[in-house]
Amino acid sequence: MGFGKYDPQQVEQKWQDNWNETRCFEVEADPARPKYYVLEMFPYPSGKIHMGHVRNYSIGDVVARYKRMRGHNVLHPMGWDAFGLPAENAAIKNKTHPAAWTYSNIADMRAQLKRLGYSYDWRREIATCRPEYYKWEQRFFIQMLEKGLAYRKNSPVNWCENCNTVLANEQVEEGKCWRCDGEVEQKQLEQWFFKITAYADQLLDDLKLLEGSWPDRVITMQQNWIGKSVGAQLTFQVKGMDVSIDVFTTRPDTLCGATFMSLAAEHPLVEKLIEGYEHADTVRAFCRDVANMDRIKRGADDLEKEGVFTGAYCVNPLTGREMPIHVANFVLMGYGTGAVMAVPAHDQRDFEFARKYNLPMQVVIQPKDTVLDPAAMTEAYSDPGFLVNSGQFDGLQNDQAKQVIVEHLGKEKLGKPTVNYRLRDWGISRQRFWGAPIPVVHCEKCGLVPVPEDQLPVRLPEDAQVREDGRSPLPMLESFVNTACPTCGGPARRETDTFDTFMESSWYFLRYTSARNEAAPFDREALKYWSPVDQYIGGIEHAILHLLYSRFFVKVLRDLGYTDEAEPFKHLLTQGMVLKDGAKMSKSKGNVVDPNSMIGKYGADATRLFILFASPPEKDLEWSDAGIEGAYRFLNRVWRLAEDLADAGALKAVGPVAPLSALAGASGGELSAPAKDLRRKEHDSVRKVTRDMENKFQFNTAIAALMELVNEMYAVKDALKDAPGGAEVLSSALSTVLTLLSPVAPHLCEELWVHMGHTGQLATMPWPGYDESALVKDEIELVVQVNGKVRGRLTVPAEADQESVRQVAMTHENVLKHLEGKSIRKVIVVPGKLVNVVAG
Ligand SMILES: [Zn+2]
Ligand SMILES: [Zn+2]
């Protein structure tokens, strides 16, 4: 009959319509069925999908389709991380509005994703810029405020004096403003924070739950970001003043080697220390310069160490040494206490600083075999050793000394053991327009008043005009700002900061479980059924912040009574990048391959197939024009195979045979040997593909196994068409190819499935379970040895007994040759493996 030419555009549109009309991928919670929640990190609606998206979502879609066929009730949703700065920038540039720009991009991208045939439940689509979404996070914020988990404090921001505005970190380019190229300063502003540090220990400890199901390197990155260190807080009295300086150190064992003190430029004591000092102005100028430095550069190891003496001294609590107090550019206020006891002999940064300013150095940790001489040292010694120049502590092993010294200081109230974290509280205020409003008002009488829950959402006025200078229009928008105080009814002003967009992405995966609920953020039962996400898939660039904030949010929501889960994502897969000519695709490099043009030329199935076949999911993938050509050719090959078999008379007679169900029965006789071979190959392919899917989604090797099966079918089809059982086995093998290939190339497989005469959608068919007994070969190969040396190989029936194997072995020509003139002493048969003839 002939199917005509493979036309992906026509076939793909047909099946996308079919899935849509039959609501094939719409799901509801069903406690009677096992659930599987697979999720790809949702995109920012920039307007166009790129190959990175295609890769991420194709991986997710194969997982979703596979798990569905394995009998799971699969939740697979999609949505939009829709707030953010690019919308404002685009609105300024294109004289449009961020909302209009965003919604139109969403419409474009939704159409592109639909064109790829992803099996999303589109009813659950969310856009985080909609008040129906952000109203719930405003509620979470207020509940966190009540619990003391949200608070306001002064904090530095990037400030451009020219533009008179706050800049996001990504708007600061090499210390300059992105718009006017002016110097960026650090300015103190009242801002909102989440107390994520209150969950530092849980966030760290619960990483253990993820071991083996998250990539090791992501777990390590999270551990490092939280940065727990166990050490001591020590107190240094300032000489001649009634004040003291607290420091945090992980090396209390080196305390006797502390010869000076370094403070951060922002340390609150600086002004007091320099009171009356003749060079006070120099110190102030230095502090101002350092405070305005780029914070990332300031923390870098290769920063040129600089500092200035404050004129004041503090006293080493163990040695009584007077230690000059400096302000140093490498000390950050954010870590520890903003003060560092400097031990130049044993800390590299202190060493560099001491060498530069000629400050004293005292060795207090000595390695076993050498004696360190401070004058000759070229770098700090930070390895283990025993204590010297430390009075009563001399001779102690340095690890042991840590505890002994802290205990000793504890008695004098000069120190205590402390745990410190690198993790800071999460600053959630943005002085931007295109974000969710922070739901508080400032009342002259009552101060800060949270907006009551029944007055939520505080809507972002979507029609507000963005300003040419990039500043948020909210503070100037009288209709937004002026309001009545919810407590006293008097005049009040709304908060005009908006939430960091990481807020929206920290809980969206929970909202998908109840996306259309208007009465509550979640249906309790639906959330319980679907949580946690079983498989999360996204780029490694989100390994730290997004995942950490999501983990934090879930723990907070648990403590607020919304969920029972402690962790949001059971398994995590971080897919590799899509490269072209060895580099990440980017406009500036001019190496971007547009998915739309590939889909237009080869179809969605070929695009998906190429991207899944070219590399294992977690590795980088090199784009190749030849590769997608090859994927397209393979699909054509499957198409023609199906066409050819459909035309064959014998196949018409047996009709469509379900995967793996070709048995001898229907044709009434034994299967011929080539039919048995193909049947074995078919079962073996199911085994391989199933194994590759289960083992970290190794789609590339799974696809390779299917290609092999197709090759095998081409090789034997003409011989098999009319052989006993051959038609059945061919039909069954083709059904298997289509079933196993369908998660990857769903449209083509659905089409050929129907052409074969099967009924029902392939998307809802069960995954075939292979038969171990079908894998058993009828004949096996044995090695024959003479006195331990291989002299020949035999093919014998698999069920042959030892005696018959022995007999066949003794007829082998080469074996006989090596036995000439010898008498046989013993014949050992190892079943299924070898025969060894001992002769002499
Ligand atoms: Zn500027
Ligand atoms: Zn009031």
Q: Is the dihedral of CA 205, 208, 210, 214 positive or negative?
A: positive
Ligand with minimal distance to 176 CA:
1
Whole-number pLDDT of residue 165 = 73
Whole-number pLDDT of residue 666 = 43
Ligand with minimal distance to 450 CA:
2
Cα 483 to Cα 441: distance, rounded to the nearest angstrom: 8
Q: 468 alpha carbon to ligand 1 midpoint, in Å? A: 12
Whole-number pLDDT of residue 665 = 46
**Do 93 and 47 form a contact (C-beta atoms < 8 A)?**
no
Q: 296 alpha carbon to ligand 1 midpoint, in Å? A: 20
Q: 594 alpha carbon to ligand 2 midpoint, in Å? A: 55
Record the tokens describing residue 702, joined without a space. Answer: 């799974």
Strand partners, 448: 442
Cα 18 to Cα 21: distance, rounded to the nearest angstrom: 5
Q: 180 alpha carbon to ligand 1 midpoint, in Å? A: 4
Record the tokens describing residue 317, joined without a space. Answer: 């609590």
Q: 47 alpha carbon to ligand 1 midpoint, in Å? A: 27
**What's the whole-model pTM score?**
0.82
3-state secondary structure of 707: helix
The sheet carrying 621-622 orders its strands as: 583-584, 578-580, 621-622
Q: 171 alpha carbon to ligand 1 midpoint, in Å? A: 10
Q: 489 alpha carbon to ligand 2 midpoint, in Å? A: 6
Residue with tokens 């058993």: 776
**Do 225 and 544 form a contact (C-beta atoms < 8 A)?**
yes
Q: 292 alpha carbon to ligand 1 midpoint, in Å? A: 15
Ligand with minimal distance to 183 CA:
1
Ligand with minimal distance to 165 CA:
1
Ligand with minimal distance to 167 CA:
1
Cα 494 to Cα 458: distance, rounded to the nearest angstrom: 9
Residues 6+ apart with CB under 8 A from 657: 728, 731, 732, 735
3-state secondary structure of 196: helix
Whole-number pLDDT of residue 668 = 43
CA of 682: how far to CAs of 67, 538, 564, 802, in Å? 21, 33, 44, 31
Please count the other Cβ atoms lying within 10 Å of the Cβ belonging to residue 112.
16
* 736-771: burial string, b at 16+ Cβ within 10 Å, e else: bbbbbbbbbbbbbbbbbbbbbebeebbbebebbebb
Whole-number pLDDT of residue 2 = 63
Cα 809 to Cα 806: distance, rounded to the nearest angstrom: 5
Ligand with minimal distance to 445 CA:
2
Q: 439 alpha carbon to ligand 2 midpoint, in Å? A: 15
Ligand with minimal distance to 485 CA:
2
Record the tokens describing residue 497, joined without a space. Answer: 């900061």
Q: In 3D, which of 6, 56, 32 has the Cα closest to residue 636?
A: 6
Cα 389 to Cα 31: distance, rounded to the nearest angstrom: 69
Q: 186 alpha carbon to ligand 1 midpoint, in Å? A: 13
Whole-number pLDDT of residue 663 = 65
Residues 6+ apart with CB under 8 A from 304: none
**Do 441 and 451 form a contact (C-beta atoms < 8 A)?**
yes
- Please name the amino acid found at residue 144: M
Q: 547 alpha carbon to ligand 2 midpoint, in Å? A: 38
3-state secondary structure of 253: helix
Ligand with minimal distance to 469 CA:
1
Q: In 3D, which of 398, 410, 379, 230 has the Cα closest to residue 317?
A: 410
Q: What is the mean pLDDT of each run of 10 residues along the chain (840 residues)?
A: 85 98 97 97 94 97 97 97 90 90 96 98 98 98 98 89 74 79 88 96 97 96 92 94 94 96 95 94 94 79 91 95 96 86 96 95 92 92 94 94 92 89 90 95 96 96 85 93 96 96 96 97 97 96 92 98 97 96 86 94 98 96 95 98 89 86 57 86 94 92 97 94 88 96 98 94 92 71 89 82 84 87 88 87
Please count the other Cβ atoms lying within 10 Å of the Cβ belonging to residue 210.
19
Cα 736 to Cα 767: distance, rounded to the nearest angstrom: 9
Please count the other Cβ atoms lying within 10 Å of the Cβ belonging to residue 824.
12
Q: Is the dihedral of CA 545, 547, 553, 556 positive or negative?
A: negative
Cα 250 to Cα 232: distance, rounded to the nearest angstrom: 6
Q: 490 alpha carbon to ligand 2 midpoint, in Å? A: 6
Ligand with minimal distance to 486 CA:
2
Q: 557 alpha carbon to ligand 2 midpoint, in Å? A: 29
Whole-number pLDDT of residue 572 = 98
Radius of gyration of the chain (CA): 35
Q: 281 alpha carbon to ligand 1 midpoint, in Å? A: 28
Q: 184 alpha carbon to ligand 1 midpoint, in Å? A: 8
How many residues are given for the chain? 840
Ligand with minimal distance to 488 CA:
2
Q: 165 alpha carbon to ligand 1 midpoint, in Å? A: 8
Q: Which helix (H) or strand (E) holds 187?
A: strand 184-194
Cα 544 to Cα 220: distance, rounded to the nearest angstrom: 10
Running DSSP on this structure, what letter comes out for residue 141?
Answer: H
**Do 514 and 562 form a contact (C-beta atoms < 8 A)?**
no
Residue with tokens 């202190």: 350
Q: 294 alpha carbon to ligand 1 midpoint, in Å? A: 16
Strand partners, 402: none
Q: 160 alpha carbon to ligand 1 midpoint, in Å? A: 5
Ligand with minimal distance to 163 CA:
1
Cα 424 to Cα 291: distance, rounded to the nearest angstrom: 18
Helices (H), ranges, 172-256: 200-205, 207-210, 216-226
Ligand with minimal distance to 490 CA:
2
Record the tokens describing residue 312, joined without a space. Answer: 């004041």
**Do 263 and 333 form a contact (C-beta atoms < 8 A)?**
no
Record the tokens describing residue 471, joined without a space. Answer: 């500043």
Q: 437 alpha carbon to ligand 2 midpoint, in Å? A: 19
**Do 119 and 68 form a contact (C-beta atoms < 8 A)?**
yes
**Do 610 and 640 form a contact (C-beta atoms < 8 A)?**
no
Q: 795 alpha carbon to ligand 1 midpoint, in Å? A: 82
